[in-house]
Amino acid sequence: MTNENTTHFGFKQVAKEEKVQMVRSVFDSVAGKYDIMNDLMSFGIHRIWKRIAVQLSNVRSGESVLDLAGGTGDLTMLFEKRVGKKGQVVLADINAEMLRNGRDRLIDHGIIGNIRFAQVNAECLPFEDNSFDCVCIGFGLRNVTDKDAALRSMYRVLKPGGRVIVLEFSHPTDKLTEKVYDFYSFNLMPKIGKFVAKDEESYRYLAESIRMHPKQDELKKMMENAGLERCEYFNLSQGIVAVHRGYKI
């Protein structure tokens, strides 16, 4: 049973002020193995999901992009190719360890000139109004304590004509996919986490957090309530993942 002072951390109920630290601990733990775990858990398909999200963003040369929950920089690298030397991408994450890993990885790839880094909380972004042509949050919104506040904050920093892209694990659109996905998530994923990242509990939390995330139509409504217009979503892999898109008119 939830109240205004509690929220969910996976399937558990915790005090709201505790969740940020608990999520931070999860990503502190998995940061070093984050990329290899993504490849293993999704069989590499996460790279296709990210490319589709970037395509749907319609980001063009010279634009400015905020990559929230940007982690180790996968989406930032894809956006950087689109904005070119005249554009800019801000790789932002609430977790310092993830941000450090992302910065090191981008430097290793020789991508640094038009990239900025910011440790931020998505609920209260420290940027001026109307700053970005696109705000993207990839596989991060489900970890945010107050999703409505985060969406309002994203709307505020978006330029008129700009778009918000939410790439997130979602809810399967058919019963067979749901059954297979549940078995994989709760039985195999934590075991892979234990074997590769030496952390079974963090990956059990990640599986639970996906189930607690709003369904596609609910998230679309939340985006509309935040002020975004022409909101729509695109199911990928039978709804295991969805890309939501909304515009600031």
Q: Which residues belong to the annotated binding site for S-adenosyl-L-methionine?
A: 72, 93, 121-122
What is the token pair recorded at 43? 């069989």
The enclosing H or E element of 16 equals helix 16-30
- Cα 224 to Cα 202: distance, rounded to the nearest angstrom: 32
From the annotation, which residues make up the binding site? 72, 93, 121-122
| Dihedral (CA of 163, 168, 171, 177) sign | positive
What's the angle, vertex CA 133, arms to CA 127 and CA 134, rounded to 5? 85
64-85 residues labelled b (16+ CB within 10 A) or e (exposed): bbbbbbbbbbbbbbbbbebbee
- Cα 27 to Cα 125: distance, rounded to the nearest angstrom: 20
What is the token pair recorded at 106? 């981008």
For 180-221, the DSSP string reads HHHHIIIIIHHHHIIIIIS-HHHHHHHHHHHHHSPPHHHHHH
